[in-house]
Structure 1
Amino acid sequence: MPCPPSRLLAPLSRSPRLAALALVTLMLVGCGGEDQATAASAPAATLAVGMVPVQAREIERSVTVSGPVAAWEEMQLGVEVSGLRVTALHVDVGQVVRRGQVLLELDHRMLDSDLAQSRAALAEAEAGLQLAQANLNRGQALANEKLISASALDELRAARVQAQARRATAAAARDASQLRRDFASLRAPDDGVISKRLVQPGQVVAAGGELLRLIRQGRLEWRAELADAELALVRPGMTVRIATRDGEVTGRVRAVSPGVDAATRTGTVHADLPQPGALQAGSFVEGRIATGRGNALVVPAASVVQRDGHAYVFTADDGRTVRRLRVRTGSRVDGRVEILEGLKAGMRVVNQGAGFLGDGDLVRVIATPTAAPATANAHPATAQ
């Protein structure tokens, strides 16, 4: 027990100045002791947080993956003749064309000359055939009257057959010349959009070289590479949703690879985009493939904290000290996150202030309003 001030000051009663100084010192020491006691008894700083239970709900499951937007079919267009110069180019990149439309023309003057010669040869062969047929008709009339021999009649018949063969040969040559003349004009094989131009007016082209590229029917598709486990969940006809700057684009899975690549262990999903909107061929976008509905444990998205590349939630079993739990997440649906591992139904997790907490922090739990139930037709966002 501390000594009373009167007893401590008794030896100093003979010196008033010393007594006064000692009294002030004792008062300062006493005040400092009270401050230290008060600080020691004060509670540590706490953070007010809200908590919600882990709920089991039916959600729309999805597979989220990124992939390129590409043409459904991109046709490489060229000509079948060589050594001719481009005299006219009627289309440019981005232009919509129709089936049979002339895209470019080559210098066809030599081809026109060849065609004229073949037509003249055909006319000559037809005239020879007519003469041979007339000679045969007269010979048959004379043979009926026994005016010519049978061998002479046979010669007339052979002459007609030869004339028919010459006529067929001339017709085939005419058709070949006409075909080469037609090759001088490159026509669109189908409706579509010109996606690339590799030729200029005045250029001499070679047979088989790519001159233009056409997106057939203007159709685009989204292609995604999925791991074997995810590929097994996807079926033709499933809905695909792709977020763009102009809104969401909806597609439908057209085809799924029947197997996976042995090196990458991935397979390809092809999804048609009937209304691609702002999407363009070559874009690399993220899409969500809806694979069905199922029951899952969900927590509010605010409850999940990403740290060091992992997902965590915080619980407070005693209502004061938080505990950090590592979890594995799935789909995000209507502001809620699917929990695949790490939690059980009924457990309570922090949903307000989780981003400011650390393992072992003291908290003060406050009441939070009950969250509205998720809509039945909520669309999934990303899958972790």
Structure 2
Amino acid sequence: METETGPISGRLRQNFNFRSYLVSLLFLFIAGGCGHKTTKPLPEGEFLYVKTSPVVQSTAAVPVFSAGVIMPEDEINLSFKTPGIIEEIRVIEGEKVKKDQFLASLNLSEIRSQVQIAENAWLKATRDHERALKLFADSAVTLEQLQNSVTAVNMAKANLDIARFNLEKSVIRAPDDGIILKRLSKENELVAAGYPVLIFGVMKKSWKITATLSDRDFVRISPGDSAIVMPDAWPGTELPGAVFEVSEVPGRLTGTYDVRIKFSDRGHRLAAGFMAGIKIIPAAGEHVTLVPAGAVVDADSLSGYVFCPDEASVARKIKVEISGLEGEMVALRNFPPGISEVISEGAAYLRDGGKVKVIK
């Protein structure tokens, strides 16, 4: 759903990318697991002492990481009931407002004239009905004529109510305490009825954030899955939340899917536009293979490589598909069967086909 995110979503997609975010995390884990800088592989014919670790088959709810922009949970498009020329807009983007505060107005000259016309029509219909009553008492008019006068009064009153309602809705007032998220129009512009003039965010303790996910991560997420929001403005703070909406249609430009998360501020001061990291924990686990972070080398996007020693003490380089991080382990999808251990120390120095000696 691109409409909700709007220009802010564009900035989000420029500054945050799930794949690069995850690769950065993997780099930190892998660097820590190796404990030294990568050097050139040993010359052919020489061997390297290495240590191995067993691979662990597991069913785990591997978290999905993303980032987004914090916004109020409720957003309202404020507009005028009737078309007209905007006379005044008294608020700016980011301004906090109180309930019933005046926000904007059309030029009311034409609309007030319509109210005056409707009032005059109602007064005339009322006078005609009063005369019809007197004439009916003198048998000067028929019952049908009297009933028609009643109908005319009712129709005139209904038209007056419509005109007064249109006049009232030609002024925009804040529906609740909140913040002006966006101004979509300017003064002296001619706007159509119902065209959004202001985007209003209701200021409550509940907030929402949108994670943009690739298709491979999207299929793992369902409404109700738990999530953690980590605002950049509050380092170390984790605000629990839950997925409440999952878009089934990808963005036209990005091809990613929007997943919306609702959470509470828990007493922390938040504002619309705050950036935050997102961690979503799928309720349904998936089968993964866990290996130490130091075993994964040459991580690129969501893939990398591991080395496995064969019976001839030769290291074989195998490409693996990275699912995510599980503590200090890397979770791999679709790991080749028949492999029971990987080289966890010394992998950064190896090349495919290099000779190794395993230290027990």
TM-score normalised by L of structure 1: 0.60
Shift of 1:120: 4.2
Q: What amino acid maps onto 2:169 in structure 1?
A: F
Verify the 8 A CA contact 1:61 1:292 in the aligned structure 2.
Answer: no
Pair 1:95-2:84 in alignment: no
**Structure 2 counterpart SS, 1:236:** coil
Q: What amino acid maps onto 1:179 in structure 2?
A: F
Equivalent residue number for residue 171 of structure 1 = 157
How many residue pairs get aligned? The number is 302
Pair 1:301-2:288 in alignment: no
**Structure 2 counterpart SS, 1:155:** coil
Q: What amino acid maps onto 2:344 in structure 1?
A: N
For 1:317 and 1:47, the matched residues in 2 are separated by 14
For 1:231 and 1:249, the matched residues in 2 are separated by 22
With over 3 angstroms needed to count, the CA separation of the structure-2 counterparts of 1:341 and 1:56, relative to structure 1, is closer
For 1:323 and 1:181, the matched residues in 2 are separated by 80
For 1:322 and 1:118, the matched residues in 2 are separated by 94
Map residues 1-384 of structure 1 onto 2, 5 A cutoff: 49-62=50-63, 75-86=76-87, 88-96=88-96, 101-137=101-137, 139=138, 153=139, 155=141, 157-188=143-174, 193-201=179-187, 203-208=188-193, 209-215=195-201, 220-222=208-210, 224=212, 226-227=214-215, 232-241=219-228, 244-245=231-232, 246=235, 247-248=237-238, 250-256=240-246, 268=257, 270-275=259-264, 288-293=280-285, 296-306=288-298, 311-316=304-309, 321-328=313-320, 329-339=322-332, 340-342=334-336, 344=338, 346-347=340-341, 349-359=342-352, 361=354
Q: What amino acid maps onto 2:208 in structure 1?
A: L
For 1:115 and 1:220, the matched residues in 2 are separated by 42
Shift of 1:334: 0.4
With over 3 angstroms needed to count, the CA separation of the structure-2 counterparts of 1:220 and 1:135, relative to structure 1, is same
For 1:85 and 1:359, the matched residues in 2 are separated by 70
**Structure 1 counterpart SS, 2:141:** helix
**Structure 1 counterpart SS, 2:156:** helix
Shift of 1:204: 4.2
Shift of 1:336: 0.5
With over 3 angstroms needed to count, the CA separation of the structure-2 counterparts of 1:63 and 1:183, relative to structure 1, is closer
Shift of 1:341: 1.8
With over 3 angstroms needed to count, the CA separation of the structure-2 counterparts of 1:129 and 1:278, relative to structure 1, is closer
Shift of 1:256: 4.3
Shift of 1:239: 2.4
With over 3 angstroms needed to count, the CA separation of the structure-2 counterparts of 1:136 and 1:241, relative to structure 1, is same
Structure 1: gaps (5+ residues)? 1-43, 140-152, 368-384
Higher deviation after alignment, 217-226 or 296-305:
217-226
With over 3 angstroms needed to count, the CA separation of the structure-2 counterparts of 1:56 and 1:166, relative to structure 1, is closer
Deviations 1:243-296 (A, max 9, x none): 5534555443334466x78x99x8845333324887966979775452433564
Deviations 1:71-125 (A, max 9, x none): 8775543324444341x32322123556755321223245334434533443343
Quote the sequence identity (%): 22
Structure 2: gaps (5+ residues)? 1-44
For 1:174 and 1:334, the matched residues in 2 are separated by 69
Verify the 8 A CA contact 1:226 1:269 in the aligned structure 2.
Answer: no
Verify the 8 A CA contact 2:65 2:279 in the aligned structure 1.
Answer: yes
Q: What amino acid maps onto 2:192 in structure 1?
A: A
For 1:318 and 1:184, the matched residues in 2 are separated by 82
Higher deviation after alignment, 356-365 or 281-290:
281-290
For 1:171 and 1:290, the matched residues in 2 are separated by 58
For 2:274 and 2:127, the matched residues in 1 are separated by 60
**Structure 2 counterpart SS, 1:196:** strand
Q: Name which one, 1 or 2, has greater alpha-carbon Rg.
A: 1
With over 3 angstroms needed to count, the CA separation of the structure-2 counterparts of 1:105 and 1:279, relative to structure 1, is closer
With over 3 angstroms needed to count, the CA separation of the structure-2 counterparts of 1:175 and 1:73, relative to structure 1, is same
